[in-house]
Amino acid sequence: MAPLIVDNLTVSAVSTLGQQGGKRLLAPVSLTLTRGELVGIIGESGSGKSLLAKALMGEAPPGYRLEGQVSCDQQQLALAAQDSRVLDPLRRVLQQLRRRLPAGHNDSHIAGAGLDAKLCQYFPHQLSGGMAKRVLFAQAQLQQRQWLIADEPCTGLDVKAADKLYQQLRALADDGRGVLAISHNLRQLVNVADRLVVLKSGQLVEIIRPQAIFMGQASAYTMALWHALPENWRRLNAKVA
């Protein structure tokens, strides 16, 4: 299957006359994702990570529009959304998961997504933040699409559960899917990603391999994100001393 190609994707304001405005929420982003690859998208809050995820799905905020091109079959894109409000408040989790199953699949595939039977009987308002994240990820996973975008999939999860979910994303990529994982947590992504797309204030900073960070060869901004992780403070202070 052909790769997913993003060519100068931009989110820009529309003026009252319907013409292109000057303000850009997302400057031109270009990248290529192949099946079997896990690409992490990182940056601090407000850098444009979730905006990029929605743009890849063909969505733009009210008053803004997309420019550029995403070359792939949109029917083969699945999004594990960041916001649990996309869940239907009137349906149990199991009912919502069944609606995502491809033809010929049954409840055994839902069990394979790692959700226990008790959780599947809950309504969305009964879910904790971590539970809701697991449901959103399972929904996207069960669709069996070739391309999966996971938007902050580990928010609300403890470290152990988050690491397990990232290993699931890695396994999906190893199984032949293309995975985009969006996170502000660089520690988790460097251990599973093949490449990292770094955003800052809606601008593409660089696209690198995790090894560049370990070798201190990434941009100053990326290295600042890395050194801001608490587990790296002692190491950095030791070098200064």
pLDDT along the chain (241 residues), means of 10: 92 68 85 96 93 92 92 90 92 93 82 86 94 92 93 88 91 96 90 97 96 96 92 62 49
Residue 85's Cβ-count burial label (10 Å; 0-12, 13-18, 19+) is exposed
Query: Which of 57, 41, 63, 62 minimizes the C-alpha distance to 4?
Result: 57
Q: Which residues contact 23 (CB under 8 A, 6 or more apart)?
A: 12, 13
230 φψ region: left (φ > 0), alpha (ψ -120 to 50), beta (else): alpha
Residues 213 and 235: their CA atoms lie apart, in Å, by 14
Total domains in the chain come to: 1
CATH number of domain containing 174? 3.40.50.300
Residues 239 and 62: their CA atoms lie apart, in Å, by 48
Per-residue pLDDT at 92: 96
Q: Which domain holds residue 122?
A: 4-240
Kind plus residue range of the DSSP H or E element containing 212: helix 210-214
Per-residue pLDDT at 232: 80
